[in-house]
Structure 1
Amino acid sequence: MAPVPDFLSHYYAAATGPFLNLSDLSLDDAERIQAALRTRGNTFASQRTPEYLQTRRQLEDRVRALFIDKGGQPQRQRPHYLILGACPWVQSWYIQGCELRIPLADFAPTILSFTYGDTFPAMRYQDGKPYRGQVYTLDELPELVAAFGLPQDWNADGSGGPDRYIEAQVWSDTPLQAYYVNQARPHPSDP
């Protein structure tokens, strides 16, 4: 049985810094940035479909509601995304990708939810896997990892489907503030 990692990772482009979130922007501003990324075509984010941002917001609303149903107390309308443990594949999405590791102990359980895999397949795929459509709490991680393992261990190359990591949704800015590079900077268009 794989142990539950004791840290969360956040991946980002060196040029922009960590914790820039398209979901924090108005839909128009986020669409403008996403269109610029598609035009450049040089990052993983450039492959996103035109309906990506609208779908993302719907899924975030669903994850938030499921988390609240389990006793979560989100302080943000939209989450910051991290990964349980490390996933070098995600780091490769970024030009000069960086990895930031934050101890899991730095997060209150009431502001931290998880999906088995990225939110998109976790909430949208209907392939009969028992973790689809589910949101997990910190207390549920040991049982989840014991049952299914860490996707980055058994599916590092993606040959086993879309589940490549356990995604963490952080519903508060407080534990991340020490890592913000410059909170007043404009949102860049090149993640």
Structure 2
Amino acid sequence: MYLYHYYDKTIGPFRNLSDTSAEEAKMILDEIKRNKPDVQCAKRQTTYIKDRLYYEEILREKFKEKGGIIRRQVPHYMVIEHSPWLSTWFENCAYIKIPIEEFDLTSISFTYGDSHPTFSPRITDNKEYRKKLYLYDEILDIIAKYGLPQDWNDDGKFGPERYVEAHIWSNETINKYIE
């Protein structure tokens, strides 16, 4: 199994908006909207930064409750296996592919689908994986049951889940891949 991280080649990998202040993150998003209005990131809602911080707090608390090891305040984001949809997000898209075995699994959590709709009060379909965060062994069971979302819902026709999101709560492995 591989974890993928998609990014814009002109910016570089693992540039995390949540590592900046909310004001700086908003400025970065505003700049993207001005300079690259056609990329997916430019289409984010005006409350995106506030929403992101809210959902990251949920992820952090749920991961702590499950005994996860948190070595950084906010996670780096990756997905399980290749996501054709995410590969279209950036004007100069690139990706890093890392074998899961390179990570300390006690520092990774997962959501079946993006964490925002997973925990959003607006999504009320009561699917088993809503409002849930998983450890590695648990997400393997969910994938065995439902498959990878990118295999059955890459175009989003069947709901918001398009990939399995991985939250990396450590810099240890990530630092080896930052140029």
2:126 is aligned to 128
Shift of 1:38: 2.2
Give runs of aligned pairs for residues 18-167 of structure 1, distance below 5 A.
18-40=13-35, 41-124=37-120, 125-167=123-165
DSSP 3-state at the match of 2:173: helix
How far apart are the structure 2 equivalents of 1:16 and 1:32?
15
How far apart are the structure 2 equivalents of 1:35 and 1:16?
15
Shift of 1:106: 0.8
How far apart are the structure 2 equivalents of 1:21 and 1:7?
20
- Larger mean Cα displacement after TM superposition, 158-167 or 33-42: 33-42
2:10 is aligned to 15
Q: What one-letter code is carried by the residue in structure 2 that aligns with 1:32?
A: M
- For structure 1, the 5+ residue unaligned runs are 1-5, 182-191
**8 Å Cα contact 1:38-1:48 kept in structure 2:** no
TM-score, reference length from structure 2: 0.95
**8 Å Cα contact 1:79-1:171 kept in structure 2:** yes
Aligned-CA RMSD value = 0.9
For each residue in 1:6-30, what CA deviation from the matched residue of structure 2 results, as whole angstroms up to 9, or x when unmatched? 1100001111111001000011111
DSSP 3-state at the match of 1:136: coil
Q: Percent identity?
A: 39
For each residue in 1:126-157, what CA deviation from the matched residue of structure 2 results, as whole angstroms up to 9, or x when unmatched? 22111011000011122111121110111122
How far apart are the structure 2 equivalents of 1:42 and 1:51?
19
How far apart are the structure 1 equivalents of 2:171 and 2:157?
35
How far apart are the structure 2 equivalents of 1:33 and 1:39?
10
TM-score, reference length from structure 1: 0.89
Structure 1 moving runs of 4+ over 6 Å = none
Shift of 1:39: 2.5
DSSP 3-state at the match of 2:85: helix
